[in-house]
Amino acid sequence: MKLQIVEIILWPRKDGVAPRRVPFELNKANVITGASKTGKSSIIPIIDYCLASDRCSIPVGLIRQAVSWFGVVVQTAEGQKLLARPEPGKLPSSTEMFVAEADVVNVPYAIPEGNTNLKQVKAMLDRLAQLTMLGTDSENQGSGYAARPSFRDLMAFCLQPQNLVANPDVLFYRADTTEHREKLRAIFPYVLGATTPESLEKRWELDSLRRELRGKQREMEAYTKASETWRANLTNWVSEGYELGLIQKEDFVGADEVRLLAVLTELARRGAPERPVSADAMADSSIEYAALQKEEGDLAISLADVRHRLNRLAELRSSVDQYELSLGKRRERLSLSRWLRNQTLDSDQATCPVCAQSLESHADAVDTLCDALAVVESDARRVSRAPAVFDRDWVGLNDRMRELTDKLNAVSVRRKGIEQRSNRAKQQRLITNQVARYLGGLEQALVVFSGRENSSAASEIERLSARIKELQDELSQEGYGAKLAIALRRVKTSMERLASLLDAEDPDASVELDIRELTVKVGEASGRSDFLWQLGSGANWLTYHVAATLGLHALFLRLDKSPVPGLMVYDQPSQVYFPRKLASRTVDLDPKIGDEDAVAVRRFFEVFGKVAHAFEGDFQIIVLDHAGHDIWGGIEGIHFVEEWRNGEKLVPLSWLDASAPQV
């Protein structure tokens, strides 16, 4: 990703004062040198804050007291962009931002307010990085550590603040928290180029197809299990149908499963016989009993219909009452309009009794309100006549319900009388209910079986399996594991070459990046490997921090479309070489480095210059350090930005109140 710092800008709180601008050279190793407490260590927090960080880590104190807005101008593939954010005050950060875009941005003299927000700037930076919209795990899309990579995640590879640049326990920016550490582990294969957006898309499709295949397989297993149970009970269904007189013996004796299925299917289609089936002739009481059952059923249906209409009528009446109440409220609110119109008619200079403004210019509005009041009153008159209609229908339905209830009770009395007189009728009722239950169960069993036979699950399983095999072959050919191994070998080669040029205790040691532990492993000739935190010496820690970060950027720049910005910022890399007694002083001194240590520090600056030059215009380094011209002067690729000593600081002293301490 093309993104380099053109300049850092601070806008003062004082009116009429020009902004402070710190320019940088593109494609160079830029150096800001200076004494302690001049603002060097605020540069990384300012860059991070303006590049859409969720929190503001700019140190509180004089800088935040004197500055109203912080900004950076960055060079991108789309030209220059100014990204600025206000000092958040008592809040952890501000979501307000100001963005300006042009081939060459014209920096405003002051920023009165923002023109965008943090979320939109993050989206813009994600777009510039051409990041994939897919997460690293399809099971947890959009959430947790496996969510899609973001531009903010990539800052881990670009910033090395003072507390990190020689830290034995943490190698990457913000990797000291679980959230950032786990997210970094998840996106490492993606930023190394082992996982491309295309392969991520294929992996997402593969995971989705596997879930769909598992669902289809469960569906198939359910149908198979249900149909096997049905086959096992097929004879029982036929036997029960014969016992109930629904199937003739000659229809199933010696028949195979296909024939039995056809007999049962026809029986389910035909349904229950209109008259109960019996071997004996039906008695007159049984015929009458059947007729009464039918009449009782018809009456019950009619009664249910009347009850339903009564319920609907009650709901409608309630709705009318609510509407009438609503019209009453509207009429009360609009009634003032007539009084206002009378005011305008009674006097040529009528005024509003509330605001004392003339009503003459609002006559049309008052007329409109009066017309609306007339419509409401008309609707209210029509609605007021509705209850009479409802009452008439209500009475009619109640009479019909009483009539049907009386008839139903009479039929019930007659049916119960027959049951008491005839045991045969009682038996017939039991048989009728049994037949109904049998046919209901038979229909459900046939649905399950035909569902298995007609299901497209088998063909879907075949189609899904073929596509899964195709995707697996494609991903296998892409060689994710091989790509990752190649990328790590390239980083290893770069790290070892860089470490040999720096100040490692063993320049010939084997060095590799561990993307699971997010640290460096250093191997000995004996074959033993140690993690960075197991090594001693600040010089070793600094060496491997610089070697790892620059080695990764060497790989990023070789990739076709790396999302990582071509930017690396180091704060106080030479701190491990300062004498402890000088580094601990509170006075504004420029600590001196011994001759041997000065040679070691110069090696780092020589590497910075060589790397910026070797990466051919796609990479920028910013170094913030105590070391002065006597250390890095004359090195190719080094660009001197500013020196902050003898009163020169990031924030000009003139911005501070006269009463503020001048430190």
Distance CA 582, CA 399 (A): 107
Asked if pLDDT for residue 588 goes beyond 50, the answer is no
Residues in Cβ contact with 304 at an 8 Å cutoff, skipping those fewer than 6 apart: none
Distance CA 510, CA 493 (A): 9
Reduced to 3 states (helix: H, G, I; strand: E, B; else coil), residue 344 is helix
Tokens of 579: 């004498």
Q: Is-contact 138 203, C-beta < 8 A?
A: yes
Dihedral sign for Cα 192, 196, 202, 205, please.
positive
Asked if pLDDT for residue 14 goes beyond 70, the answer is yes
Predicted local confidence at residue 481, as pLDDT: 80
Predicted local confidence at residue 68, as pLDDT: 95
Place of tokens 């300062």: 578
Asked if pLDDT for residue 306 goes beyond 90, the answer is no
Domain ranges of the chain: 3-134+142-181+537-655, 284-421
Tokens of 234: 């097929």
Closest CA to 159 of 563, 541, 568: 568
CB atoms within 10 A of CB 607: 23
Predicted local confidence at residue 455, as pLDDT: 53
359 phi and psi, to 5 degrees?
-95, -5
Asked if pLDDT for residue 143 goes beyond 90, the answer is no
Q: Residue 386 is which amino acid?
A: A
Confidence class for position 572, pLDDT limits 50, 70, 90: very high
Q: How far is CA 310 from the centre of its chain?
A: 50
CB atoms within 10 A of CB 212: 15
Alpha helices in 271-354 (DSSP H): 284-334, 336-346
Predicted local confidence at residue 156, as pLDDT: 95
Asked if pLDDT for residue 400 goes beyond 50, the answer is yes
Distance CA 433, CA 609 (A): 96
Cα 409–412–418 angle (5° rounding)?
Answer: 150
**pLDDT averaged over every residue in the chain:** 80
Confidence class for position 659, pLDDT limits 50, 70, 90: very low
Q: What is the mean pLDDT of residues 126-136?
A: 77
| C-alpha distances out from residue 334 to 341, 375, 635, Å | 12, 11, 85
Asked if pLDDT for residue 136 goes beyond 80, the answer is no
Predicted local confidence at residue 589, as pLDDT: 45
Confidence class for position 632, pLDDT limits 50, 70, 90: very high
Q: Is-contact 79 95, C-beta < 8 A?
A: no
Q: What is the mean pLDDT of residues 274-302?
A: 65
496 torsion bin: left (phi>0), alpha (psi -120 to 50), beta (else): alpha
Q: Is-contact 68 87, C-beta < 8 A?
A: yes
Asked if pLDDT for residue 308 goes beyond 70, the answer is yes
Q: Find the radius of gyration of the CA atoms of the chain.
A: 43
Confidence class for position 265, pLDDT limits 50, 70, 90: confident
Distance CA 98, CA 109 (A): 13
Q: Residue 198 is which amino acid?
A: E
Q: Is-contact 542 573, C-beta < 8 A?
A: yes
CA dihedral 342, 345, 349, 351 (to 10 degrees): 20
Confidence class for position 102, pLDDT limits 50, 70, 90: very high
Q: What is the mean pLDDT of residues 156-174?
A: 95
Tokens of 547: 């070697």
Residues in Cβ contact with 145 at an 8 Å cutoff, skipping those fewer than 6 apart: 179, 182, 183, 185, 186
Q: What is the mean pLDDT of residues 273-284?
A: 48
Confidence class for position 261, pLDDT limits 50, 70, 90: low
Closest CA to 161 of 22, 242, 45, 303: 45
Alpha carbons within 13 angstroms on the beta-carbon side of residue 611 total 32
Predicted local confidence at residue 130, as pLDDT: 87
Q: Which fold has domain 3-134+142-181+537-655?
A: Rossmann fold (3.40.50)
Tens digits of residue pLDDT in 238-248: 666 666 667 77
Q: Residue 283 is which amino acid?
A: A
CB atoms within 10 A of CB 295: 16
Tens digits of residue pLDDT in 520-570: 999 887 778 899 999 988 999 999 999 999 999 999 999 888 999 999 999
Distance CA 331, CA 325 (A): 10
Asked if pLDDT for residue 115 goes beyond 60, the answer is yes
| C-alpha distances out from residue 293 to 193, 416, 423, Å | 79, 11, 16
Dihedral sign for Cα 130, 133, 138, 142, please.
positive
Tens digits of residue pLDDT in 204-213: 677 778 888 8
Tens digits of residue pLDDT in 407-456: 878 777 777 776 665 655 556 666 666 776 766 676 766 665 555 554 56
Confidence class for position 190, pLDDT limits 50, 70, 90: confident
Distance CA 426, CA 293 (A): 12
Predicted local confidence at residue 159, as pLDDT: 97
Confidence class for position 461, pLDDT limits 50, 70, 90: confident
Predicted local confidence at residue 139, as pLDDT: 47
Question: 390-403: buried (b, 16+ CB within 10 Å) or exposed (e) per residue?
Answer: eeeebeeeeebbee
Predicted local confidence at residue 134, as pLDDT: 61
Tens digits of residue pLDDT in 223-234: 666 555 655 566
Confidence class for position 172, pLDDT limits 50, 70, 90: very high
Predicted local confidence at residue 330, as pLDDT: 72
| C-alpha distances out from residue 586 to 498, 540, 581, 591, 653, Å | 35, 27, 10, 12, 19
Asked if pLDDT for residue 221 goes beyond 70, the answer is yes
Distance CA 413, CA 420 (A): 11
Distance CA 405, CA 422 (A): 26
Percentage above 90 pLDDT, the chain: 38
Predicted local confidence at residue 361, as pLDDT: 60
